[in-house]
Amino acid sequence: MQTVPAALMPIPGHIDPVPVPRAAAPRSDGRVDLVGLSRDGLREVLLAGGMEPKQAKLRAKQIWHWIYNRGQTEFGRMTDIAKAQTPWLAERFVVGRPEVIEAQVSSDGTRKWLLRSPDAQDYEMVFIPDADRGTLCVSSQVGCTLNCRFCHTGTMRLVRNLTAGEIVGQVMLARDSLGEWPSQPEGRMLTNIVMMGMGEPLYNFDAVRDALKVVMDGDGLALSKRRITLSTSGVVPMMARAGAEIGVNLAVSLHAVTKEVRDEIVPLNRKYGIEELLQACADYPGANNARRITFEYVMLRDKNDSDEDAHELVRLLRHYRLPAKVNLIPFNPWPGAPYECSTPERVARFSDIVFEGGISAPVRRPRGRDIDAACGQLKTAAERKSRAELDRQAEEKMAALA
């Protein structure tokens, strides 16, 4: 029996409107966008464009510095590149940014951007400022196929994976907006990245890995892997590979402690159950008390918020001896949502039980609710569906997973 490579692992569930995610279309002007390319990739596209090998090696190093350290987008302003060569570069290449369709700022300072790709696909990113850090929530796909029932993004159709360049481009655009060029390790507003935006990062593994390697490169954007967190709903076969090849912090969208409830609100549980998921967490490379695994747990009234649920959560994390932290997330409502948020008293009681079990369980303060930028609310303005349509899609996806 032939083994399917991990990078081509099929995505479970109904995918609409196309049978498989579409690849990104080439730019209409035929130029190659250099954002997201590795050093070797940058040199290779210069060679493919006709540049001499020695020149390509030198220019790749120079252009890399200008793109990722200086944030420069115009070849004519890259002062150590010969002026005679800049027209040749500009004719063949571009240092792009996502097109901003809409930029919103919440009353609490959270910023949300609606972005559009050259092939007219929309996706979103969010920047969350705090006193001691600034976190950029980055998307990995246009839409999502997992249909987590509490998540607005999960009601969208999966159109395609974002490219490494489109993922890195979100970080570049945020740095532009915050005025953080040239790149420097101290005094940044953007200090952390979470792969928690639209999509399931481990179903776009290669692009996410390649993008994060660029982001972590010490000669460019230079964000430490300890300041980057990748969130998954539980794509078990890819978790060990993520730890080995990317090595960033891991967050897991758990949200329930019984098969019945998790099957409902995180349908991927029907494919990879709680026990299998927690064992993969226990095996995750690099996890220890200094780099704990974060378990995201959205608080849904009368669904997953009982004292019994809290005690079972403690039991499971202890059973697998997991270096864990639990983020309790008050449910962020959206039009047509089938759930309500747990009461503040119930959330506090749940948190107390988990803390008493020796596991950190802070309650995350909702941010950006007034601009639909909070956890689970990301969904492009182009996607608006009736409750009946959402239920129909959910039933189709669950049937495919069963």
* CA 298 – CA 3 distance, rounded (Å): 36
110-122 in b/e burial notation, b at 16+ Cβ within 10 A?
Answer: bbbbbbbbbeebb
Q: Is 276 a catalytic residue?
A: no
Say what the alpha-carbon torsion angle 182, 123, 136, 299 is, to the nearest 10 degrees: 180
* CA 115 – CA 121 distance, rounded (Å): 8
Which of helix, strand or coil describes residue 203? helix
Tell me how far CA of residue 139 lies from CA of 30, 112, 126, in angstroms. 25, 12, 9
Backbone torsions φ then ψ of 188, nearest 5 degrees:
-75, 150
Q: Is-contact 316 274, C-beta < 8 A?
A: yes
Q: Residue 127's beta-bridge partner residues?
A: 111, 136
* CA 296 – CA 250 distance, rounded (Å): 11
Q: Is 124 a catalytic residue?
A: yes
* CA 309 – CA 315 distance, rounded (Å): 10
Q: Can you say how many angstroms the Cα of residue 225 is from the centroid of all Cα atoms in its chain?
A: 14
Catalytic residue among 91, 124, 340, 383: 124
Which of helix, strand or coil describes residue 216? helix
Q: Is-contact 73 97, C-beta < 8 A?
A: yes
Q: Is-contact 296 363, C-beta < 8 A?
A: no
* CA 181 – CA 188 distance, rounded (Å): 10
Catalytic residue among 245, 264, 375, 396: 375
Catalytic residues: 124, 375
